[in-house]
């Protein structure tokens, strides 16, 4: 066994506490979890920053409000600064102002990079040599890329069932050690966390890691600036392990706390109906989430039956007066096709889930509302959901034959 990491004590600018029991930590637990099982939350004392304090581009433009000590060189691949695209054709019949935050244009093709750059920078600053994660695909791709960038070993545990080939190949090409677990994502996460709790030389970069949430919250800052310093009325995201929706809520809440904005959006989380433990609990009015065994959906990125950050996500939805909704796989795939064929934006199925609630939104929100859909990953990472038989594509041999298609 390698020597334990030399963990830095918290400086005066940020602190860690358990979201569940409130316990405060003077040092960062290697698993990013409390003994009670709760996830950690990071509180940052940033003073009163102004937008003028943010310089540069991407995630590290916001370094003033990120929990990384001065003098540390970020492990970065120029993540962030993703486009906010207005949906013209899809919005035509709604009267709504619709935008997509296309996180699929991050370096490895998903929003995971936004948090991974901060988590891996933190890991390197404390001397970590090995990063570990459980993943349905996107986290493994991002961890492998940033681990290689930072000169660290990466070990990835994936479920033995279906995992998108475009995501798996990324983990492999970046040099990660990929291990299959007999079971689903939740089984992989349980095994990984159990090992990390006794191997103090490992550093966990799953969404339980509070430094990842700090990086992901910068998506909210970008949306605010890209809208001309305006907060949207609704922000709609897919929900799997449930860290991202709480990250965006934290970002918008901090903007208001600092006096940069004067409101926060309503947060709407969307789960696939075959993997919806959090939405199911919310719609039933229950205060606890029961693990779903064998969750199943075409949206592999949110095929999670036991979301680790469900309490933080539920609080974000309730505090923002938002909602948690479910959509079917058929609705997800239709939204994916519509977004690609009408707006030129190809996203993975999980990223299309937010668009699938649009028919519902049209009936319940003001027609002048400004709505931002956060599309979390590129469609190029999960191409198998679009079945294509090359042999059925028409073939021609001369110009005359071409004319029948024109």
State the Cα–Cα distance between residues 67 and 70, nearest whole angstrom. Answer: 9
98 within some domain: yes
Residue-range definition of the domain harbouring residue 375? 84-109+212-385
Least confident residue range of 239-243, 300-304, 381-385: 381-385
334 within some domain: yes
Question: What DSSP letter does each residue of 151-179 carry, written as one string?
Answer: T-EEEEEEESS---HHHHHHHHHTT-EEE
| Confidence (pTM) | 0.92
Predicted pLDDT of residue 5 = 53
126 within some domain: no
Could you read off the pLDDT of 84-104 as tens digits, one per residue?
Answer: 999 999 887 677 899 999 999
Between residues 264 and 301, the one the model is more confident about: 264
How many independent structural domains does the chain possess?
1
Find, among 197, 289, 284, 287, the residue nearest to 241 by Cα.
289
242 within some domain: yes
Could you read off the pLDDT of 115-151 as tens digits, one per residue?
Answer: 999 999 999 999 999 999 888 788 989 999 999 999 9
Could you read off the pLDDT of 213-242 as tens digits, one per residue?
Answer: 999 999 999 999 999 999 999 999 999 989
18 within some domain: no
94 within some domain: yes
> What mean pLDDT is reported for the chain?
90
227 within some domain: yes
Strand segments (E) across 128-265: 130-134, 153-159, 177-181, 202-204, 234-238
Within a 10 A sphere around the Cβ of 228, how many other Cβ atoms? Answer: 6
38 within some domain: no
Between residues 285 and 184, the one the model is more confident about: 285
Q: Are strands 266-272 and 323-327 parallel, antiparallel or unpaired?
A: parallel
Phi and psi, residue 271, nearest 5° = -120, 155
Least confident residue range of 78-92, 130-144, 196-210, 363-377: 196-210
Q: What is the CATH number of the domain that holds 359?
A: 3.40.50.1100
For the segment 345-359, the average pLDDT, to the nearest whole number, is: 95
Could you read off the pLDDT of 323-350 as tens digits, one per residue?
Answer: 999 999 999 999 999 999 999 999 999 9
């Amino acid at each position: 066994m390698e020597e334990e990491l030399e963990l830095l004590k918290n400086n005066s600018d940020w602190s860690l506490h358990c979201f569940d029991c409130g316990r405060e930590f003077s040092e960062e637990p290697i698993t990013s979890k409390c003994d009670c099982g709760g996830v950690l939350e990071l509180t940052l004392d940033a003073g009163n920053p102004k937008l003028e304090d943010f310089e540069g581009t991407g995630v590290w433009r916001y370094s003033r409000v990120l929990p990384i000590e001065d003098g540390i060189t970020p492990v970065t691949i120029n993540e962030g600064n993703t486009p906010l695209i207005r949906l013209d054709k899809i919005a035509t019949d709604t009267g709504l102002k619709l935008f997509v935050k296309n996180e699929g244009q991050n370096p490895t093709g998903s929003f995971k990079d936004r948090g991974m750059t901060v988590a891996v920078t933190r890991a390197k600053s404390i001397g970590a040599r090995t990063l570990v994660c459980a993943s349905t695909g996107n986290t493994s791709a991002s961890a492998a890329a940033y681990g290689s960038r930072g000169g660290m070993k990466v070990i990835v545990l994936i479920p033995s069932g279906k995992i998108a080939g475009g995501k798996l190949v990324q983990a492999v090409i970046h040099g990660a050690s990929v291990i299959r677990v007999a079971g689903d994502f939740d089984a992989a996460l349980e095994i990984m966390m159990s090992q990390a709790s006794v191997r103090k030389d490992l550093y966990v970069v799953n969404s339980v890691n509070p430094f990842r949430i700090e990086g992901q919250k910068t998506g909210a800052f970008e949306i605010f600036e890209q809208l001309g310093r305006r907060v949207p009325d609704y922000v709609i995201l897919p929900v799997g392990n449930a860290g991202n929706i709480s990250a965006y809520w934290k970002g918008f809440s901090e903007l208001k706390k600092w006096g940069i904005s004067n409101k926060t959006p309503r947060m709407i989380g969307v789960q696939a109906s075959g993997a919806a433990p959090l939405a199911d609990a919310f719609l039933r009015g229950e205060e606890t989430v029961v693990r779903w065994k064998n969750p199943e959906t075409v949206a592999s990125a949110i095929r999670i039956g036991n979301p680790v950050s469900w309490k933080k996500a539920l609080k974000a939805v309730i505090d923002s007066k938002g909602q948690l909704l479910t959509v079917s796989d058929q609705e997800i795939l239709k939204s994916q096709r519509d977004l690609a064929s009408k707006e030129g934006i190809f996203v993975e199925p999980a990223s299309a889930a937010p668009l699938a609630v649009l028919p519902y939104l049209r009936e319940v929100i003001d027609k002048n509302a400004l709505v931002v859909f956060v599309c979390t990953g590129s469609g190029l990472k999960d191409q198998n959901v679009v079945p294509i038989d090359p042999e059925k594509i028409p073939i021609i041999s001369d110009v005359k034959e071409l004319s029948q298609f024109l």
